Structure 1
Amino acid sequence: MTATVTLGRIAGIRVGVHWSVLGIVAILAGLGIARWPDAIPGQPTAAYVVAALAGAALFLASLLAHELAHALVARRHGIPVDGITLWLLGGVARLRGEASTPAAEFRIAAVGPLASVVVAAVCGVLAWVSVLVALPPLVFAVLAFLSLINVVLALFNLVPAAPLDGGRILRSLLWAWRGDRYRAAVASARAGKVFGLALIALGGVWLLAAAGANGIWWILIGLFIVLVASVEEHQARTFAALSGLRVRDAMTPNPERVDGATSLAAFVDDLAPTRKHSAYPVVDPTGRPLGLMTLDRVGSVRRERWPSTPLDAVAHAMTAVPTVGPDDELAEVLPRLQDGRTDGRGLVVEGGGLVGIITPSDISRIATLRGLSRSKSAGLFTGRGAGWP
């Protein structure tokens, strides 16, 4: 989830909002404006509007506290954090990596609901104080609302189903118990799909019973959970298939490379048409890698400038290209490859020299072959088919 607007940084972590966050503001503000005049009559219309907007804004702040807790603990465990984005269905802390131990996984997951509980407690105390010092009743209403909704947020996130925090906690416990993080991830993702389908069914029943439009909200949340859980299950199976493999097992060794001084015109007219690849390592005369040239980069330069533009000025620079070693664990470097700007491609470097290139098709091919091999072994020795675990 990419932020539409960047708000700034907190503790060095980039914070932004996606345009869909306006949906949360509209829903919460609308509920406040519609219901608070009945619950607390006699206030000016402007007061209800201000209180409703303040409640919505403070709820977003509590979502930010939840995600910031995840990000800070993840960073303490050595996991880089790209940023936090608030959007329609809550917030996302974008972590660039996975926890290295079940204990770290547990702490990163559990701190989010804990932060929501702390926010709920603080708001509850402030609501009580607002009554003691005789503040306007709408102040109490906003604080009590924030306390309640953060308790709900914490409880909902503790449901043991991916991608919720409870699913991460379940994954960490299964990982610690069974010693296999990927089997644990599959189990957590399956629980997520079941929970998501249950929410969709609940929303459907709600709509059919004409109990209001809230059913649509539950259906949307359920669809999101099913979608993300399905993606996580697929990723876990892929990681399991790659477990124990090295980059050298999947890479294309000694890839075709192009001289960085070659003009873009020569590349387009003479080199690219005669070769079948869509990406080429760019090197200097000594063979040192300078970047990665992909065909989609051609369109970034006007045609009349092709003859005078060298490839090393157009290609993805090395700072934007994931680089890995041939003996790196394939499953461990996969997140780095996916987080790059080169559509999953990476250069394999050893001793400063280019020894290979690794692409999504390389990984997909070896994962498929590994999966077929494991399925065959399971059928031969356990009497089971390809179902796993």
Structure 2
Amino acid sequence: MRDSVPVGRFAGVRVGLHWSVLGIVALVSAGLGGYVLPADFPGRAPVAYAVSGIIAALLLVCSVLAHEIAHAVVARRNGVAVEGITLWLLGGMARLRGEARTAGADFRIAAVGPATSFALALVFGAGGWAAAQLGADELVSAVLGYLAVLNAVLAVFNLVPAAPLDGGRVLRAALWAWRGDRFRAAVWSAWAGRGFGFLLIAAGIAEVLARSPGGLWWVLLGLFVVNMASAEEQQARIGVALAGITVGDVMSGPVDTAPAEQTVEQFFREAAVAHRHSTLPVLDEHGRPRGLVTLHDLREVPVQARSGTPLHQVARPLAELPVAEPGEPLALVLPRMTEAGRGRVLVCAGGELRGIISPSDIARVLADHRLSTTLPAGADLSWEPDARPPPPDWWFPGQQRPR
């Protein structure tokens, strides 16, 4: 789930909105402002109900954001990089670029979200009580009270022990700590998630048959849970099959690299023909990795600007790239193969580049184990060793291609 409207950074984490988040705002504002508040507190002007509903919807979205920021902050404190947070129709999603190293860290990352929602429920509840005691308008205390209930429901629902909900992560952490096998714990959590998802779908269909349109919401939520749980089960089964295989066992090395200060023009004139790969790490003057550049990105640089553009300005920065250590389990690294790295993972130790994992390396080891998985969007399999030579449009207009 990718955001379509970036809204900035909170606690150092990039936050964006998917267009479907408007669904939350519309449902809550219409439900409260159009039905619940007029029924419970009649006699107000229609605009008062509408404003109250919109404020409640926006505060609920902020509550979901706080829930996801809590996940992100605790994840970073436990050594897990966070790509960003996206708010959408069914709530929020913190996109982590890695996995927890221990069961305890996994538990803390999962549990802090519901804990934050419970805390917000107490804050809104206390605010509603205080507003009533101070003689504020009943709509004020009612909105705060409804927000307290909604946050409590959010916390309880997320604690259901079924992946991909937070409760499923808590279950996975508990089973991991008990049995010592993270991947089998993830499989069991995914089974629970699929079962819960099918229950939601069945309940939603029953509600629809009883002429309640609200059942469609449960069907949608159930389908989401089933699909996410199935994807997690597939990933966990790959982890079970690849147990014992480390990053160092499959990485390629030594790695073709390019100097970070070399200009795009110099690269095309002097180095491009010597490299057989379409994606290259760039190194600083001390030999430390600084980013990753693709020939597609270099071709996008205008010809007139190539002589003054160093490679590091075009390269995707190291902070945005998936990085692993040679001793890490390969199965934990697979989720890091993001579009930002074109499906590549840089293997570093002691600040130095030791190797690289490409989609072809992963495809080879998966084929050896008769497994299949979906490589990340944007993974570039072209111009690997023994692939066809580079296309002619890498060269400058008017420049004779070297023979």
Q: TM-score range by the shorter chain?
A: 0.7 to 0.9
- Deviation by residue 1:27-82 (Cα, 9 ceiling, x = unmatched): 11111222122221100111111111111111112212222222233233233333
Partner of 2:163: 162
Say which SS state the counterpart of residue 32 (structure 2) adopts: helix
Partner of 1:15: 15
Note closer, same or farther for the CA distance 1:366–1:103 as it changes in structure 2 (3 Å cut): same
Moved more, 348-357 or 107-116: 348-357
- Deviation by residue 1:316-351 (Cα, 9 ceiling, x = unmatched): 56565545454444344445x424612221344578
Partner of 2:224: 224
- Deviation by residue 1:223-253 (Cα, 9 ceiling, x = unmatched): 2112221221122222333332222321234
CA distance in 2, matches of 1:211, 1:346: 49
Checking the alignment, whether the CA contact within 8 Å between 2:33 and 2:51 is kept in structure 1 is no
Correspondence list, 1:90-101, <5 A: 90-101=91-102
CA distance in 1, matches of 2:9, 2:311: 36
Correspondence list, 1:1-389, <5 A: 1-35=1-35, 36-212=37-213, 214-254=214-254, 278-280=278-280, 292-297=292-297, 299-302=299-302, 316=316, 321-335=321-335, 337-339=336-338, 341-348=340-347, 356-370=355-369
Identify, as 1 or 2, the structure richer in helix: 1
Checking the alignment, whether the CA contact within 8 Å between 1:264 and 1:309 is kept in structure 2 is no
Checking the alignment, whether the CA contact within 8 Å between 1:266 and 1:307 is kept in structure 2 is no
CA distance in 1, matches of 2:149, 2:317: 50
% identical equivalent positions: 50
Q: Which runs of 5+ in 1 are unaligned?
A: 373-389
| Amino acid corresponding to residue 191 of structure 1 in structure 2 | A
Checking the alignment, whether the CA contact within 8 Å between 1:291 and 1:312 is kept in structure 2 is yes
Checking the alignment, whether the CA contact within 8 Å between 1:263 and 1:309 is kept in structure 2 is no
CA distance in 2, matches of 1:257, 1:75: 29
TM-score, structure 1 length as denominator? Answer: 0.80
CA distance in 2, matches of 1:43, 1:71: 41
Moved more, 244-253 or 145-154: 244-253
| Amino acid corresponding to residue 106 of structure 2 in structure 1 | E
TM-score, structure 2 length as denominator? Answer: 0.78
Say which SS state the counterpart of residue 252 (structure 1) adopts: coil
Say which SS state the counterpart of residue 159 (structure 1) adopts: coil
Over the aligned positions, Cα root-mean-square deviation in angstroms equals: 3.4
Say which SS state the counterpart of residue 93 (structure 1) adopts: strand
Moved more, 27-36 or 130-139: 130-139
CA distance in 2, matches of 1:108, 1:351: 27
CA distance in 1, matches of 2:137, 2:39: 16
Checking the alignment, whether the CA contact within 8 Å between 1:110 and 1:169 is kept in structure 2 is yes
Count, aligned residues: 367
CA distance in 1, matches of 2:11, 2:204: 39
Moved more, 248-257 or 121-130: 248-257
Q: Which runs of 5+ in 2 are unaligned?
A: 372-403
Note closer, same or farther for the CA distance 1:268–1:306 as it changes in structure 2 (3 Å cut): farther
CA distance in 2, matches of 1:184, 1:244: 17
Say which SS state the counterpart of residue 200 (structure 2) adopts: helix
| Amino acid corresponding to residue 361 of structure 1 in structure 2 | S
| Amino acid corresponding to residue 361 of structure 2 in structure 1 | D
Checking the alignment, whether the CA contact within 8 Å between 2:34 and 2:50 is kept in structure 1 is no
CA distance in 1, matches of 2:350, 2:122: 55
